[in-house]
Amino acid sequence: MVPLLRRVSSIPLKLMFSSSLTPNSFSKFVMDSSSNPSNCFGGSHILMALAQQLRTYKPPLTPDDDDNPKNEIEEQKLQESAGKVVSQVGFPESATPVAHQPERFRPKRAAVLICLFEGDAGEFRVILTKRSSRLSTHSGEVALPGGKAEEADANDAETATREAKEEIGLDPSLVNVVTCLEPFLSKHLLRVIPVIGILSDRRAFTPTPNAAEVEAVFDAPLEMFLKDENRTWEEREWMGDKYLIHFFDYEMDGKNYLVWGLTAGILIRAASVVYQRPPTFLEQNPKFKVPRVVEREEVMYLRERLEMKCTRARPFNLCIVA
């Protein structure tokens, strides 16, 4: 048990949820089914304490926040906020200056589910998938359940849980959504919102992967993404700026999995928030330059003109997948 999860508050579960955790309010989505925390989390004090901790988590300010009138966040403040650790392979959108102009920058939205449960040894584990080798993009890679938002989705939590049900057969009623992390911006300028949910009883979930999308479903210890064990790294360069890509090797039931890219970046961030400490390894993050003003066709413009030199450019933290 981690040090910050020693005590479980007697505050009613509904009162522990903070609506400021995400622009999309999903408080009713979280836990209307029961007002008794022990019922929600199978009587697990570890899961109850984790839920309490995460419901008090507040992501760094984003351009849409009322408390951020200048729509700017200094990198130093990002690093200091709530155990902030920015991954070089999945940068929070709050660190991306181009996203500070929401009226001009409207990337497509997606959500992924970080579904945590208590392992046999009392550790936190996360459910992961291996994408089908028949998919046209990122085939055979490890990913979190999730996908692009649909018009019918009420919020990011609904997007993430809907996709998880479609991909691996995870019933949304089994998942207690507790918070969302700050948005990540992918290489293709897709806004990805990590949604953290808690599975109170792992035995109640029998994976039924959609063969068209998912080849395998497995789980891994979340703390692994803060440790130097089973980790390799590769130095790369973009626009003259060197940065590191981290790879995590994991074996389960005789099968080997490699977690890297945006998925690894999100899990490093999630583990940092859950355990409230940075990873033991060094993260070396790149900084990219893009024009402060984005044209009407902003997505194509950024993709095609990312390397263009321009005056009054500002750092642009971008997710690098490959």
Tens-digit pLDDT profile for residues 63-112? 545 455 444 443 444 334 333 333 334 545 544 444 444 444 466 899 99
Between 207 and 5, residue with greater pLDDT: 207
124: Cβ–Cβ under 8 A, 6 or more apart, which residues? 46, 50, 116, 117, 118, 221, 222, 223, 274
Whether the full predicted model's pTM is greater than 0.85, yes or no, is no
Higher pLDDT, 148 or 284: 148
Q: What was the pLDDT predicted at 51?
A: 95
What pLDDT score was predicted for residue 85?
34
Q: Give the separation between CA 276 and CA 176, rounded to whole angstroms.
A: 21
Euclidean distance between CA atoms 100 and 73, whole angstroms: 9
Give residues with Cβ within 8 angstroms of 113, minimum separation 6.
Answer: 127, 144, 145, 146, 160, 161, 163, 164, 170, 175, 195, 197
Q: What is the pLDDT of residue 12?
A: 34
304-307: list long-range contacts, CB under 8 Å, 24+ apart.
306/239, 307/239
Portion of the chain with pLDDT greater than 70, in percent: 59
Is the pLDDT assigned to residue 290 strictly greater than 70?
Answer: no
Residues 236-265 have a mean pLDDT of 87
pLDDT, tens digit, for every residue of 10-24?
A: 333 333 333 333 434
Token duo for residue 143? 């990913």
Classify domain 3-316 at the CATH topology level: Nucleoside Triphosphate Pyrophosphohydrolase (3.90.79)
pLDDT category at 150 given cuts 50, 70, 90 is very high
Which DSSP helix (H) or strand (E) runs through 48? helix 45-55
pLDDT cut 90: percent of the chain above it: 48
Cα dist from 319 to 37, 189, 236, 241, 298, whole Å: 37, 8, 13, 14, 17
Q: Where are the domains of the chain?
A: 3-316
| pLDDT, greater one: 23 or 192 | 192
Distance CA 247, CA 259 (A): 6
4-13, 117-126, 145-154, 221-230: segment of lowest average pLDDT = 4-13
